[in-house]
Structure 1
Amino acid sequence: MIQWEDVYKVVAAMVPLYVALVLGYGSVKWWHIFTREQCDAINQFVCYFTLPLFTFEFTAHVDPFEMNYLFISADAISKVIIVLVLAFWAKCSSKGSYCWSITSFSLSTLTNSLVVGVPLIKAMYGQVGVDLVVQSSVIQAIVWLTLLLFVLEFRRSSSIDLISTVDAPQAEKDSDLEGNINNINVVMSSSTSTSTRPAFWYLMKIVWLKLAMNPNSYACIVGLTWAFLSNRWHFQMPSIMEGSILIMSRAGTGTAMFSMGLFMALQEKVVSCGVTLTVFGMVLRFIAGPAAMAIGAIAVGLHGDVLRVAIIQAALPQSITSFIYAKEYGLHAEVLSTAVIFGMMVSLPVLIAYYAILEFLH
């Protein structure tokens, strides 16, 4: 049975994150220390230095040859379940929507694995749990965020085609459509088909270019590459290199949470999408995602602490990257913004509840 000392360990791991969050929020909202431009500069510092090095530090110490592939399979199955449900809803329901399916996928599957997950899971299940969370984070960055980018880019490219032909007389549509085809065959060269829908390899080029501009993406890739090489040939990172990375990466969690506080303070209101959509987002984040993960975990035969870690890490707060992408592509950014902010606020009691229930069932 769960003891109060266990709950205290979890609270002790989470409270420092909230302290950094509140300090960031108060420095703008209450004390007016930073201007919006200075907040942007701090966010850039976190985005390009501390968080990528923080990500690299954890990823580089993963042993790819000892990864829990059942755990990774369970994670993949859970996401496939959600994709199939959303695809069925979009196609068969009168309220179904392709755009809302994309947002719902983000809300129910993409988590803040490293910044919140690592200290939380370490307090709950020790280093074994941390290793699983890091593995999940690496797969999310390399596979699922890439898939999300591809779908968002495809949607935007397709929307350009539709906008060019709607709300115009038929004769103008025919003429404009022909002109748009010619023009786009020139914005894309030989990479598009004559129907103006962008070719697969053109979209992939855009997606990989955007990933290359995202420091956290290549931090995962470079870190995983190093992990493969170092574990294959059994050599360690030189101490001078390790020290250079650690001096910045140790600030990763604190500065990321401080930056989140700045972001919260710059919003006009915490709940910017209305109560109904906020509840919708929280249900997907804290109920649908863990439920799908439980199905996937049971399907592949996970049990014990690995099963519990799988479910709890699926209930972590919303990924900040998913909001950044939503804002860039103009797709329900206010919903993702609320999910990130409100999710951080309610995650502590929710995650402790999950921990207590799973330990009690054990």
Structure 2
Amino acid sequence: MIGLDDVYKVVVAMAPLYVALILGYGSVRWWHIFTPDQCIAINRFVSYFTLPLFTFEFTAHADPFKMNYLFIGADAISKFIIVLVLALWAQCSSKGSYCWSITSFSLSTLTNSLLVGVPLIKAMYGPDGVDLVVQASVIQAIIWLTILLFVLELRRTGSDVSLSSTTTTTNSQVVSMEPTKDLEENQSVEVVTTSKPSFLTLMKIVWIKLALNPNSYASIIGITWAFLSNRWHFQMPSIMEGSILIMSRAGTGTAMFSMGIFMAQQEKFIACGTSLAVFGMVLRFIAGPAAMAIGCIAVGLHGDILRVAIIQAALPQSITSFIYAKEYGLHADVLSTAVIFGMLVSLPVLIGYYAALGFF
């Protein structure tokens, strides 16, 4: 049974995050330390340096040979359920869209497992529960955050290419009005400028951009190291470990600092509005756990493993999802609200889940 000491441990783990958030907020709103361009640079620093090293550090220390693959399978099924529902919504509803499907996937599936989940699950279910939460974090970093990064890059690259094509076409139309050009030349220029790149060309551009993004391969390199080190039982050299830790330890703190900066640049504290904030909370604390429950039933999980799976699916929003949303310009206001208020309301919600699941 979870007690006051256990709740205190969770609060202790969460409080420093809000300190970093407030410092970031105050540095822009109260003290005017950073300019808008500097704020963009800070988010890019977090996105390209501290978060990739943080991801590499915790995936490199996982043990892939001791993972519960039924648990991972249930998690995968829950994600596919969410993707299917969002795809149907985007196709069949007038309010559905590709962009909102991406954001809704983040809201309903991507969790802050390490900072909030580990101390809370340890108090509820002990070390075995913590192992499952860490496994979920590793799989999230390797698969689901990588997929999110891919679709965000695909969306931005597609938009950039379309904008470039439109701009070139407009310039051609201006040229075609010049009296020194004959009609045949005008027509040939118009046909060249209005053609769109093929799907293969678009994918090539996307893969090149992802290859230059350290977030794409930080988790892959980390889990590769984990396989090799656990297979042949060797440890990371201390000089290498120290070099990684000095940056990776700043990952979550700088991410929250960047979120505080973002909030300070918005007109309202709840930047996305109340209705979208409630929508995000419903996806985070109801839709995600419900999909996970279906996945667990599908693979036959039961007992504490089933309970841990559902509770870890109801953990607060992933901070990394906000950093990606800010970097790629997609509903960062919604994700920042989900992270901040999700962590505030998560403790009573998760204790409620814990109490309710105790009856099954």
Q: TM-score, normalised by structure 2?
A: 0.78
Residue pair 1:164, 1:180 contacting (<8 A) in 2 also: no
Q: 1:249 and 1:98, CA in 2 relative to 1: closer, same or farther beyond 3 A? A: closer
Farther off after superposition, 328-337 or 275-284: 328-337
Residue pair 1:14, 1:120 contacting (<8 A) in 2 also: no
Match of 1:169 in 2: none
Structure 1 residue matching 2:314: 3-state secondary structure: coil
RMSD over aligned Cα atoms: 3.6
Does residue 72 of the first structure (1) align with residue 72 of the second (2)?
Answer: yes
Q: 1:39 and 1:156, CA in 2 relative to 1: closer, same or farther beyond 3 A? A: closer
Q: What is the alpha-carbon distance in structure 1 between the residues aligned to residue 327 and residue 60 of structure 2?
A: 29
Q: CA deviation at 1:241?
A: 2.1
Does residue 92 of the first structure (1) align with residue 86 of the second (2)?
Answer: no
Q: CA deviation at 1:163?
A: 11
Residue pair 1:10, 1:123 contacting (<8 A) in 2 also: no
Residue pair 1:272, 1:334 contacting (<8 A) in 2 also: yes
Residue pair 1:293, 1:311 contacting (<8 A) in 2 also: yes
Residue pair 2:284, 2:314 contacting (<8 A) in 1 also: yes
Q: 1:100 and 1:31, CA in 2 relative to 1: closer, same or farther beyond 3 A? A: closer
Q: 1:261 and 1:151, CA in 2 relative to 1: closer, same or farther beyond 3 A? A: closer
Map Cα deviations across residues 164-219 of structure 1 (whole Å, 9 max, x no partner).
79xxxxxx9xxx9997774476x74xxx2xxxxx23xx444344334334333322
Q: CA deviation at 1:227?
A: 0.5
Q: 1:325 and 1:121, CA in 2 relative to 1: closer, same or farther beyond 3 A? A: same
Map Cα deviations across residues 301-333 of structure 1 (whole Å, 9 max, x no partner).
223333233222222333344344445555444
Residue pair 2:53, 2:251 contacting (<8 A) in 1 also: yes
AA partner of residue 66 (structure 1) = K
Does residue 280 of the first structure (1) align with residue 296 of the second (2)?
Answer: no
Farther off after superposition, 221-230 or 137-146: 137-146
AA partner of residue 134 (structure 1) = V
Q: What is the alpha-carbon distance in structure 2 between the residues aligned to residue 144 and residue 328 of structure 1?
A: 17
Q: 1:178 and 1:8, CA in 2 relative to 1: closer, same or farther beyond 3 A? A: farther
Match of 1:361 in 2: 359
Q: TM-score, normalised by structure 1?
A: 0.78
Q: CA deviation at 1:44?
A: 4.3
Q: CA deviation at 1:234?
A: 1.6
Aligned residues: 343
Q: 1:24 and 1:152, CA in 2 relative to 1: closer, same or farther beyond 3 A? A: closer
AA partner of residue 54 (structure 1) = F
Match of 1:318 in 2: 317
What percent identity do the matched residue pairs reach?
Answer: 80
Match of 2:253 in 1: 254
AA partner of residue 260 (structure 2) = G
Match of 1:145 in 2: 145
Q: CA deviation at 1:139?
A: 2.5
AA partner of residue 249 (structure 2) = R
Map Cα deviations across residues 225-277 of structure 1 (whole Å, 9 max, x no partner).
10111112221112222233333333433333333333333332232222222
Match of 2:204 in 1: 205
Q: CA deviation at 1:355?
A: 3.8
AA partner of residue 137 (structure 2) = S
Q: 1:157 and 1:254, CA in 2 relative to 1: closer, same or farther beyond 3 A? A: closer
Residue pair 2:255, 2:319 contacting (<8 A) in 1 also: no
Structure 2 residue matching 1:225: 3-state secondary structure: helix
Match of 2:53 in 1: 53
Match of 1:168 in 2: none
Q: 1:239 and 1:150, CA in 2 relative to 1: closer, same or farther beyond 3 A? A: closer
Match of 1:18 in 2: 18
Q: CA deviation at 1:74?
A: 0.9
AA partner of residue 284 (structure 1) = L
Residue pair 1:13, 1:120 contacting (<8 A) in 2 also: no
Residue pair 1:61, 1:227 contacting (<8 A) in 2 also: yes
AA partner of residue 221 (structure 1) = I
Q: What is the alpha-carbon distance in structure 1 between the residues aligned to residue 111 and residue 15 of structure 2?
A: 19
Match of 2:223 in 1: 224
Residue pair 1:316, 1:351 contacting (<8 A) in 2 also: yes
Q: CA deviation at 1:63?
A: 1.1
Q: What is the alpha-carbon distance in structure 1 between the residues aligned to residue 353 and residue 191 of structure 2?
A: 53
Q: 1:149 and 1:42, CA in 2 relative to 1: closer, same or farther beyond 3 A? A: closer
Unmatched segments (≥5 aa) in structure 1: 166-171, 193-197
Residue pair 1:149, 1:207 contacting (<8 A) in 2 also: no
Q: What is the alpha-carbon distance in structure 2 between the residues aligned to residue 327 and residue 179 of structure 1?
A: 38
Q: CA deviation at 1:108?
A: 1.1
Question: Who wins on radius of gyration, i.e. which is larger?
Answer: 2
AA partner of residue 264 (structure 2) = A
Q: What is the alpha-carbon distance in structure 1 between the residues aligned to residue 63 and residue 54 of structure 2?
A: 17
Map Cα deviations across residues 120-143 of structure 1 (whole Å, 9 max, x no partner).
445544544443333323322332
Q: What is the alpha-carbon distance in structure 1 between the residues aligned to residue 343 and residue 276 of structure 2?
A: 16
